[in-house]
Structure 1
């Protein structure tokens, strides 16, 4: 889905935003190689933070902001949820007969570190939680190379998504010179001019 180290999106003030946020998180963390336990914890944390943000009274119809980032060097996953409301988030310990109020208690239990910051621009605050993610993987480097340089086993971005190259063979265009045919793990083959630039993922040798 993405090779960057962070992704940000905005959500409308709707109950449907909670499952939508979880689905987006699941897609991002799957691309980052995060293990199931970390994924489950991250989904719980994000659900609680988004739910709390949706409950906060805000001026107008302000949306909720979400940012997910990773630090491979520190083995940390950071989740941020921003809203335009006031107040300070505090952990509560509800009584046995109370059915709610345990959201931040759960966040505090699952997170390596959590807290909140006032937003430097605009009104409101950002609540963040950092989770230990020792299995998180580094973002592969993306380079543009001529099609003739592509090799089997590499990932190439075609038709808006990444495909793994299974086989490369050369052909001759009728008038335009040499061509390259790339066969992928899924979908049709791609025939392009040998000099056509293609985006290729290159794994970090130091990662």
Structure 2
């Protein structure tokens, strides 16, 4: 599900998922007008949440879910990471010689609030963190967003013309890297890197 205030995507259980999550978050927060200090904190928090989810002992084919939402009215940014594992996330206080185990300490220090919830559908849990983002902005009529944020029904600018997006699907470039494939009302589908900015015109969504 993707909306102007909500981005949801899934990650494979691989080491490359942490930088991919950071890149998508960075692109989205740039479009939302979030201050750089908050962006830096959010990237650290999301990195720790995704890293912890990757360490959960579950079958390798189980993906990790990520959701990024904003509330301009409350000035809040919410990050959620879901995994299929059990257990309860708890803050540890590792010894001075331990190199790991400080992830949730960092999350608790940077976030306004954090916690976890059992998933309403399916197995596993969702760990969330909320950060104060007073500069977060409401959606303008014409804006640039990361391609991964585009949804069916919006109008996007392709070269010098506006095209309606009929469908959105994920793709993958042969040379590597995530892509978004936009099916347009006229002309061939448009392949765009997931984090590449696309100009959209809002208020014209169908349904």
TM-score by length of 1: 0.69
Structure 2 residue aligned with 1:205: none
- The CA deviation string for residues 106-134 of structure 1, in whole angstroms up to 9 with x for no partner, is 00000000000000000000000000000
Work out whether residues 3 and 139 of structure 1, in 8 Å CA contact, stay in contact via their aligned partners in 2. Answer: no
Unmatched tracts of structure 2, length 5 or more:
143-154, 163-199
Larger radius of gyration: 1
**Residues 1:200 and 2:201 aligned together:** yes
Q: Larger relative contact order (C-alpha < 8 A, sep ≥ 6)?
A: 2
Structure 2 residue aligned with 1:47: 47
In structure 2, the CA distance between the partners of 1:93 and 1:161, relative to structure 1 (3 Å rule), is farther
**Residues 1:94 and 2:94 aligned together:** yes
- Kindly tell me the number of residue pairs found equivalent between the two proteins: 153
In structure 2, the CA distance between the partners of 1:162 and 1:122, relative to structure 1 (3 Å rule), is farther
**CA–CA separation in structure 2 for the residues paired with 1:44 and 1:162:** 38
- The root-mean-square deviation of aligned C-alpha atoms, in Å, is 2.2
Work out whether residues 91 and 105 of structure 2, in 8 Å CA contact, stay in contact via their aligned partners in 1. Answer: yes
In structure 2, the CA distance between the partners of 1:10 and 1:74, relative to structure 1 (3 Å rule), is same
In structure 2, the CA distance between the partners of 1:162 and 1:27, relative to structure 1 (3 Å rule), is farther
**Partner secondary structure for residue 49 of structure 1:** helix
**CA–CA separation in structure 2 for the residues paired with 1:38 and 1:69:** 14
Structure 2 residue aligned with 1:106: 106
In structure 2, the CA distance between the partners of 1:57 and 1:162, relative to structure 1 (3 Å rule), is farther
Correspondence list, 1:54-73, <5 A: 54-73=54-73
In structure 2, the CA distance between the partners of 1:101 and 1:139, relative to structure 1 (3 Å rule), is same
**Partner secondary structure for residue 100 of structure 2:** coil
Q: CA shift at 1:161, angstroms?
A: 10
Structure 1 residue aligned with 2:81: 81
TM-score by length of 2: 0.69
**CA–CA separation in structure 1 for the residues paired with 2:109 and 2:160:** 37
Q: CA shift at 1:58, angstroms?
A: 1.1
**Partner secondary structure for residue 134 of structure 1:** coil
Question: Following superposition, which runs of at least 4 residues in structure 1 exceed 6 angstroms of deviation?
Answer: 160-163
**CA–CA separation in structure 1 for the residues paired with 2:159 and 2:68:** 22
**Residues 1:4 and 2:9 aligned together:** no
Work out whether residues 59 and 85 of structure 1, in 8 Å CA contact, stay in contact via their aligned partners in 2. Answer: no
